[in-house]
């Protein structure tokens, strides 16, 4: 009887070395995504490591969290930042894998993804920066006065957002060079399942084909 372990293909056999394009690492877009991956990792790991030292929360006295201060989990804005940047970090890993496996989505898809993340990342940065600079007890004691890791996290959140803006510019230029193809419902959306492999690729116009068809 055949060995049961051979009946199911493993992940290693699904993707061979021939599927990986090592030259993808030379792409400025790939390198920019790699930088964003490191920035996002630093952002959420730094904030998650802030288990004490934060004043407050909610403009209350320092007595709420004791002499050591609060952790990041006492602040909804900081928890939102951690969760969002974990999601974006995973997104960058999938994006880099797509480039290496030559499965890059159309420019319009990349641009839309970066646009959504751009808005969310900026919102998380602004909310966390505002919370971090909120004064507690007196005007000279902000929430993050003794929280070095939280301040570093907010700074790297800004760096990540800036890098995403650059990725948006790259993908928008590619989309523009493709004549803004790939939007469903538009004149440039030339995608037919089974006929074209990706949105934006041209195929014979159905009306033209119908008028030029000959009958016996």
Q: What is the pLDDT of residues 117-143, one digit of tens each?
A: 999 999 999 999 999 988 876 667 788
**Single pTM value for the model:** 0.74
The average confidence (pLDDT) of the chain is 79
Model pLDDT, residue 8 = 57
DSSP string, the chain: ---GGGSS--HHHHS-GGG--GGGGGSHHHHHHHHHHHHHHHHHHHHHT--S-B--STT--GGGS-TT-B-GGG-HHHHHHHHHHHHHHHHHHHHHHHHHTT-PPPHHHHHHHHHHHHHHHHHHHHHHHHHHT-B-SSTT-BTTTT-HHHHHHHHHHHHHHHHHHHHHHHHHHHHHHTTT---TTSTT----TTT-SSTT-----HHHHHHH----
Model pLDDT, residue 139 = 66
Q: What is the pLDDT of residues 65-78, one digit of tens each?
A: 767 788 999 899 99
- 187 vs 154, more confident: 154
């Amino acid at each position: 009887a055949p060995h049961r372990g051979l009946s199911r293909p493993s992940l290693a056999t699904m993707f061979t070395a021939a599927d990986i394009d090592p030259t993808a690492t030379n792409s400025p877009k790939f390198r920019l995504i790699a930088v964003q991956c490191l920035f996002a990792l630093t952002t959420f790991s730094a904030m998650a490591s802030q288990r004490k030292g934060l004043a407050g929360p909610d403009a209350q006295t320092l007595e709420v969290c004791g002499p050591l201060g609060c952790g990041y989990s006492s602040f909804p804005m900081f928890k939102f930042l951690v969760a969002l940047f974990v999601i974006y970090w995973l997104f960058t890993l999938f994006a880099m894998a797509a480039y290496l496996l030559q499965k890059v989505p159309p420019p319009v898809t990349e641009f839309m993804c970066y646009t959504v993340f751009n808005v969310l990342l900026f919102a998380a940065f602004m909310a966390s920066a505002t919370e971090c600079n909120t004064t507690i007890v007196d005007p000279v004691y902000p929430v993050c006065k003794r929280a070095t890791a939280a301040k570093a996290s907010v700074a790297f959140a800004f760096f990540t957002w800036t890098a995403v803006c650059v990725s948006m510019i790259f993908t928008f230029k590619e989309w523009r060079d493709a004549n803004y193809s790939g939007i469903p419902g538009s004149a440039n959306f030339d995608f037919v399942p089974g006929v074209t492999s990706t949105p934006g690729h041209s195929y014979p116009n159905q009306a033209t084909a119908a008028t030029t068809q000959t009958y016996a």
